[in-house]
Amino acid sequence: MIFRLLGPLATADAAGSPQPVAGGPGVRALLARLLLDAGRTVPVDRLVDGLYGEEPPAGAPGALQAQVSRLRKALPPGAAVEFTGAGYRLALGDPTAAVDALRFEALAREGARIRAAGDPARAAGLLREALGLWRGPALADVRDAPFAAAQAARLDALRLDAVEEWAAAALAAGDDPALLVRELEAAAGEQPLRERLRALQMRALGAAGRQAEALVVYEDVRTALAGELGADPSPELSAVHLGLLRGAPDAPRRTPPPLPAPLTDFVGREAERACLASLLTAARLVTVVGPGGAGKTRLALETASGLSGEVCFVDLGAVAGGGDAGEVPEAFARALGVRGEVRLETALAGRPMVLVVDNCEHVVDETAGLVRRLLAAAPGLRVLATGREALGITGESLLPLGALEPGTAEELFVRRGAAVRPGFDGHARVAELCAALDGLPLAVELAAARLRTLSVDELADGLGERFELLSRGDRTAPRRHRTLRAVVEWSWSLLAPGERLLAARLSVFRGGATAEAVADVCGADTGTLASLVEKSLVERRDGRYRMLETIRAYAAEHLPDGDPAPAAHHAYYRRLAETADPELRGAAQLEWLARLDAEDADLRAALRRGTPDEGLRMVAALTPYWWLRGLRGRVAAPVADLLARVTPTPALAEEYVLCVLAAGLREGEHMERARAFLATRTTPLRQPYTAFLWATAVGRDVRTAEGRPLPGLLLPDDPWSRSLALVGRALSALSAPAADPAAAGALLTEALTGFRAVGDRWGTATALEGLASLSPEPLPLLAEALALFEELGVAEDVVDLLRRRAGVHEAAGAPAAAAADRARAAATARRAGLPDLS
């Protein structure tokens, strides 16, 4: 079965008999969209955008599912729509053979390659076959779909490229010029100002003995160019004109060699490849920028290999840089097969060509100047560059290239691992390993190569010494790509001294940083920081600056001894924690929780720096955050490390108690010392959470060394603490031998008013939960408390409250509502990594 897109949508059986495509316009549009990527997964959001536009209706995903269901029923045998977690895939036996548009592109690409290799007769046959697949305008009857216009324009442009390639090959092979003239006249009617096309038309007319008509074509084009664009004919068109006047054919040109052939399969980057191809149709200069090892060269070559027309590869990696200014032009000249810079503009003038200029970062100024001159001199030229930074030319489009998606990085590791260890098909720690390597393709491949001698566990456990571990690579690769250290050293060597110092200081950050934090900790000016971003040493995303872990590890090795950045890092984040502490009990609670979430990794890193006393103060300030976010398990280890360095003093007794509680200790020397500190305290506590957390962990009372109970701890005299004290008194009223629910209710109501007044969601929800236990109508109170806990993201409280509400539903005879709450509790527990006790 063959699917036809080059004209009205249709199918044909092996004998060529046309078959109707069942279904309405939506089904036909969906089929056409999937056929364009047959055999590849198309993400759901891309399908929705393609079928419904950039602002799809609210029910678009459901409508898409319905259309997929209808399409599955309409598909002939041998074709199926498959769904994966990433999207939908139209499965065909051989997509290139089954879809005329894909076969056209493959034939056109192969024909262009063979013509460039010097076999025009064979190339003309392949290109003629490719053009014969067209039955009319591409996607003719689905062009109302949002995706169709751009795809049809792309295919139409490829058809014109193929016409030009076929005409050039046929002329070189000596085919009948009369046929060429007819075809080229039809194509020129569509694109009268396409100069290469008109030059080929003139050459075909000249070969058919119709020089006078060819000269008329030149005058028509010259007049149209002057009138519509204010431009003169290109050197190529002028050369053909001059040859016709002299009665001689235009001089032959040397075609560039084929692109370097890859030695391995290409994994992932479908979205980036599609984006790059799209950019190349809209812009004349596109630069792929990213850190070393991100796969910029491979992506550029994979994309360029799918382009029609001439493509030339210019590798600047061997250019020394910083020396002879003529080295860059010489590299261009060698790739193009011309001698001397003077002839570069002439060699490219009038030629529709794509130059892939690789490894520009160390000669960026020289390359930018040359590329600008060539683009100005050759209107048909497009440039696809790669480097750590942009060329910085007006009109340049950028494609930043970073880490692989986690699933793609894992797939790459498994494929490359299977090549060196046959039978390897994955491991439970592959995801962890790839994440630790930042998803950089080169790092992942270097790690996979080590499977010859190491296990995945040994690799994952050894990444603390990643540069030594990944020190063996392809012996034939450029030196800067043979090892992980060499990749980073190459980028480091291109930095100015001030940039290196800032990069080294940035290594103290573990989770990225705001510009404010960078300025405070590193003393950096915005210009130097921006330069590191431009050179792909630092990423800027969502207002934060971050280093890949591999670059951070290398930069940390170059932080000078005694540099002030580590101490400044601790001081900055301790101030942040102390500023956030009171805000977490007020109306700005959510805002500050989100801010501390963003800084969590650096807050924990800062805890390991500074003096023990400074660490105690930081623990006290962060205790509310850890409690509200349920992070006590995550921070227990670093807090215990701090506790081992602490010498307790009465001045920081309360901070010491909070440190003991945060470390998760419930017995032993530290716990006894904490109990003694509280037993001798006669003044109000400074930290409002101390009494609450002590009661939660140990019990509400504190006893002397002899075991005698002492009066309750004195809370601070602020509105939040007074409300918390009311909750404590309410619980006491309920747990007393003669329980007094009425008194407890009054106390909880007063506490609720206080918590609402200060804007604390956790306290409000806690008071509501207590009142629900006393109310004959608990469900509204539980619903409000649940909404507040969900707003805070407190998974444990959400799970507990859902289970409690399920019990209320059961008691009220509503089993369906109870089952729904238990299911929600179980799902929430799974997502948060909590035990499922439902």
For 762-826, give the DSSP string.
HHHHHHHHHHHTT-SSHHHHHHHHHHHHHHHT-HHHHHHHHHHHHHHHHHTT-HHHHHHHHHHHH
| Same structural domain, 511 and 463 | no
Contacts 24+ apart (CB under 8 A), 730-736: 730/770, 731/770, 732/700
For 680-736, give the DSSP string.
T--S--SSTHHHHHHHHHT-S--B-TT--B-PPPPPPSSHHHHHHHHHHHHHHHHHS
Does pLDDT of 351 surpass 70?
yes
Nearest to 785 by CA among 817, 748, 812: 748
Does pLDDT of 635 surpass 80?
yes
Give domain status of residue 26, yes or no: yes
Torsion angle defined by CA atoms of residues 179, 182, 188 and 190, in that order, rounded to the nearest 10 degrees:
-120
| Packing angle of the helix pair 25-36, 100-116 (nearest 10 deg) | 30
- Which residues make Cβ contacts (< 8 Å) with residue 293, sequence separation at least 6? 440, 441, 442, 443, 481, 484, 487, 550
Residue 342: per-residue pLDDT: 45
- 15: which 2 tokens? 């004998």
Residue 476: per-residue pLDDT: 54
| Same structural domain, 622 and 552 | no
Residue 708: per-residue pLDDT: 45
3-class DSSP state for residue 43? strand
The string of pLDDT tens digits covering residues 129-179 is 999 999 889 998 888 899 898 899 999 989 999 999 999 888 887 777 878
| Same structural domain, 14 and 163 | yes
What percentage of the chain carries pLDDT values higher than 90? Answer: 21
Burial class (CB in 10 A: 0-12, 13-18, 19+), 252: exposed
Does pLDDT of 105 surpass 90?
yes
Mean pLDDT to the nearest integer, 466-476: 67
- pLDDT band for 254, please (50, 70, 90 cuts): low
Question: What is the spatial distance between Cα 355 and Cα 398, in angstroms, rounded to a whole number?
Answer: 16
CA distances from 296 to 316, 442, 495, 524, 672 (A): 14, 11, 20, 29, 60
| Same structural domain, 799 and 813 | yes
- pLDDT band for 56, please (50, 70, 90 cuts): confident
Give domain status of residue 66, yes or no: yes
Domain closes at, from 442, 463, 487: 487
Give domain status of residue 776, yes or no: yes
Residue 571: per-residue pLDDT: 93
Question: What is the spatial distance between Cα 510 and Cα 552, in angstroms, rounded to a whole number?
Answer: 9
Region for 239 from its dihedrals, namely left if φ exceeds 0, alpha if ψ lies in -120 to 50, beta otherwise: alpha
The string of pLDDT tens digits covering residues 85-100 is 778 999 988 888 889 9
Give domain status of residue 226, yes or no: no
Does pLDDT of 642 surpass 70?
yes
- 715: which 2 tokens? 């809370």
Contacts 24+ apart (CB under 8 A), 517-524: 517/572, 517/602, 518/545, 520/568, 520/572, 521/565, 521/568, 521/569, 521/572, 522/565, 522/568, 523/568
8 A C-beta contact, residue 365 and residue 392: no
Give domain status of residue 340, yes or no: yes
Question: What is the spatial distance between Cα 356 and Cα 386, in angstroms, rounded to a whole number?
Answer: 8
8 A C-beta contact, residue 276 and residue 299: yes
Does pLDDT of 494 surpass 70?
yes
Mean pLDDT to the nearest integer, 113-134: 88
Residue 819: per-residue pLDDT: 93
Residue 108: per-residue pLDDT: 93
| Same structural domain, 663 and 762 | no
Residue 522: per-residue pLDDT: 92
Nearest to 147 by CA among 46, 40, 24: 46
- pLDDT band for 252, please (50, 70, 90 cuts): very low
| Packing angle of the helix pair 600-607, 589-598 (nearest 10 deg) | 70
The string of pLDDT tens digits covering residues 1-38 is 788 999 888 888 766 666 767 778 888 899 999 999 88
Residue 479: per-residue pLDDT: 62
Mean pLDDT to the nearest integer, 231-248: 78
Does pLDDT of 829 surpass 90?
no
Residue 480: per-residue pLDDT: 60
Does pLDDT of 325 surpass 70?
no
Residue 647: per-residue pLDDT: 86
Question: What is the spatial distance between Cα 308 and Cα 37, in angstroms, rounded to a whole number?
Answer: 18
- pLDDT band for 343, please (50, 70, 90 cuts): low
Residue 320: per-residue pLDDT: 67
| Same structural domain, 80 and 16 | yes
| Same structural domain, 70 and 144 | yes
- 437: which 2 tokens? 């390597």
Q: Considering only 241-245, 478-482, 556-560, which range has the smallest mean pLDDT?
A: 478-482
Region for 322 from its dihedrals, namely left if φ exceeds 0, alpha if ψ lies in -120 to 50, beta otherwise: left
3-class DSSP state for residue 213? helix
Nearest to 678 by CA among 638, 640, 648: 648
Domain closes at, from 539, 563, 587: 563
Question: What is the spatial distance between Cα 459 and Cα 665, in angstroms, rounded to a whole number?
Answer: 34
Domain span at residue 332 reads: 270-400
The DSSP bridge partners found for residue 357 are 314, 385
For 508-540, give the DSSP string.
T-SS-B-HHHHHHHH---HHHHHHHHHTTSSEE
Give domain status of residue 758, yes or no: yes
Residue 512: per-residue pLDDT: 87
- pLDDT band for 250, please (50, 70, 90 cuts): very low
Give domain status of residue 459, yes or no: yes
Residue 788: per-residue pLDDT: 92
Mean pLDDT to the nearest integer, 237-261: 68
Mean pLDDT to the nearest integer, 247-274: 71
Q: With the C-alpha atoms ordered 455, 457, 460, 463, is the resulting torsion angle positive or negative?
A: negative
- Which residues make Cβ contacts (< 8 Å) with residue 61, sequence separation at least 6? 44, 48
Give domain status of residue 720, yes or no: no
Neighbours of 323 (CB within 10 A): 9
Does pLDDT of 533 surpass 70?
yes
Does pLDDT of 598 surpass 80?
yes
Q: Considering only 323-337, 440-454, 508-522, 672-686, which range has the smallest mean pLDDT?
A: 323-337
Question: What is the spatial distance between Cα 595 and Cα 73, in angstroms, rounded to a whole number?
Answer: 50
CA distances from 819 to 244, 475, 815, 823, 824 (A): 87, 62, 6, 6, 9
The CATH code of the domain that includes 524 is 1.10.10.10
Does pLDDT of 701 surpass 90?
no
The CATH code of the domain that includes 396 is 3.40.50.300
- pLDDT band for 654, please (50, 70, 90 cuts): confident
| Same structural domain, 13 and 160 | yes
Residues constituting the chain: 838
8 A C-beta contact, residue 594 and residue 505: no
| Same structural domain, 734 and 597 | no
- 384: which 2 tokens? 């696809």
Order of strands across the sheet that contains 18-19: 2-4, 10-12, 18-19
Burial 775-812 (b: 16+ CB within 10 A, else e): eeebeebbebbbebbbebbbbebbbbbbbbbbebbeee
| Same structural domain, 589 and 471 | no
Domain closes at, from 522, 540, 563: 563
Overall number of domains in the chain: 6
| Same structural domain, 367 and 411 | no
Mean pLDDT to the nearest integer, 513-534: 88
CA distances from 169 to 134, 162, 173, 377, 800 (A): 19, 10, 6, 26, 75
Residue 305: per-residue pLDDT: 85
| Same structural domain, 504 and 381 | no
Query: In degrees, to the nearest 5, what angle opens at C-alpha 812 toward C-alphas 811 and 814?
Result: 105
Nearest to 531 by CA among 516, 545, 510: 545
8 A C-beta contact, residue 31 and residue 21: yes
The string of pLDDT tens digits covering residues 190-203 is 888 888 889 888 88
Residue 575: per-residue pLDDT: 94
Segments of 290-445 assigned E as strands: 310-315, 353-358, 381-387, 397-400
